[in-house]
Structure 1
Amino acid sequence: MSKIVILTGAGISAESGLGTFRDEGGLWAQHRIEDVATPEGFARDPDLVHEFYNARRAQSRAAQPNAAHFALAKLQKEHRGDIVLVTQNVDSLHEAAGAQNVCHMHGFLDGALCSSCDTRWPAPPVMSKTRQCPSCNAQTTRPDIVWFGEMPYHMETIYHHLSEADLFVAIGTSGNVYPAAGFVQEAALSGADTLELNLEASATISQFAQAEFGKASEIVPNWVETILR
């Protein structure tokens, strides 16, 4: 395979202790998505939103990459062709495992964004509504996260890669969140083979040519080894 485009979702980080939307008892279970993951929620109660993402940031920074993250970094390093790594995740576990040039389509927790002037900078451990932008000094700092109702980052680049892919692989994704859920169809229309690696079947499983189910820390390293043989 000369060009492989890989999409990763929350399922790849679950074994590192980072919860998904559907996990009971996790951070997401304590809040409504409308309150902590929308521009409207941030406008209503920025203190709540900052508190939520401060907790997520601390959890993310304490997490360690698992075998699936390390396997993809190895694939990127050793595969003779092009490996494009796109993630819906806002953690930095791919980078911590050694991956390069990861495309974070939903932003990432280690980034801060000024909603007044669009300046971006590394996020401190704790953010608040009173923190000033280092560029314009406005007190309009927010997490550099793509919330529901906002356009994901790097879409033009992602679709370009999908159009060139020989193989598209989705790992740990639910298939419920668009536009990422449509990537498999986009890749297939361009002639790519398609593979889902997941704990259980996603909502778009019928659109994949092949699928394998199990823990990401087991099935992803096994798949990487078959590619590198």
Structure 2
Amino acid sequence: MNTTRRQLLTSLGSSALIAATAGCLGSGNSSPPTPAADISPVNSLPQPTRGGEDASITVDIFSDFACPHCKDFHETVEPTLVNDYVDDGIITLRHFDFPIPVDQEQSWPAAMAARAVQDADSMNAFWTFRSNLFKNRSDLSTDLYIGLAEGTSVAEKAIRAGAEKAKYQPVVQKDKTTGQDRGVEGTPTAFVDGEKTVPSGDQSYTDVIVSAIESKR
């Protein structure tokens, strides 16, 4: 790791500290919403990815949009991953939904609204929508999702079908089941090439993930 990157990690150490005990935890056994009878559920969508297909390392992030620690991860850890590794073609970043749910009312709808954007518009639109969901974590609602989709090709009807009628419940459930099978117990949880990253002591999540990436280069 070069000096610049070490300096960056040092400067981020205090702000990006997400200790192993810090996270949104849950049994993960809450019943998912049931798709409405008047819609056709979507059973599969491509995994949301960011980065080139030729990247040799994959980083998977399991998140709940209502989780405050996921918001912190998005704002303090992901910028380093994107700027130092995604933009340089070193890693592919993949998003996985894992509604614990932190918010019984909105964790599932927020995830399904994001998938509605992915399905109706594009992968880039999904990542922008995802970022805005984290920024507005405290105000999750159907009205917010509709407002955030303005300027895209996603119609209000599509957002409502996702958020209110659970059209993308099978897609989100598939992600959650993947997380459960891989031992995810809370959010955020990150894997580097399939290996779970767990901060300990005074380590930041940035330090742990960067170290895991560097060890595989």
TM-score interval (norm. to shorter): 0.3 to 0.5
- Higher-Rg structure is 1
Higher helix share: 2
Higher strand share: 1
Q: Which structure exhibits the higher relative contact order, with contacts defined as CA atoms closer than 8 Å and separated by 6 or more residues?
A: 2
Length-normalised TM-score, structure 1: 0.33
Length-normalised TM-score, structure 2: 0.34
